[in-house]
Amino acid sequence: MRRAVKLRVASSSAMHKVFLIVTCLLSVAKETHHIPVCCIPTRRVITCSMKQFVDTSEHLWTVKTTKPGNISCQYDQRRLISDNFIIYNTTFFHGRQRYSIRLRGDFDPREPKRMLVSTLDMVPFSIETLLYQARNYSCGVVKMEILTGGRATQYDLRVKNSSIGFRPHSRCNRHFRRAAGHGRCIYSSECQRLIILGN
pLDDT in tens, 56-67: 999 999 999 999
User: Which 8-state DSSP code applies to residue 4?
Assistant: P
pLDDT in tens, 14-54: 444 444 434 433 443 333 334 344 565 444 445 689 999 99
Cβ(53)–Cβ(137) below 8 Å: yes
CATH no. for residue 16?
A: 2.40.128.20
pLDDT band with cut points at 50, 70 and 90 for residue 168: low
pTM value surpassing 0.85 = no
pLDDT in tens, 74-96: 999 999 999 999 999 999 999 88
How many Å from the N-terminal Cα to the C-terminal Cα in the chain?
9
User: Which 8-state DSSP code applies to residue 167?
Assistant: B
pLDDT band with cut points at 50, 70 and 90 for residue 162: very high
Cβ(19)–Cβ(119) below 8 Å: yes
User: Which residues constitute the domain of residue 88?
Assistant: 5-198
Average pLDDT over residues 156-160: 96
Domain count, the chain: 1
CA distances from 100 to 8, 34, 69, 79, 178 (A): 9, 31, 17, 13, 30
CA 158, CA 138: separation in Å to the nearest integer?
8
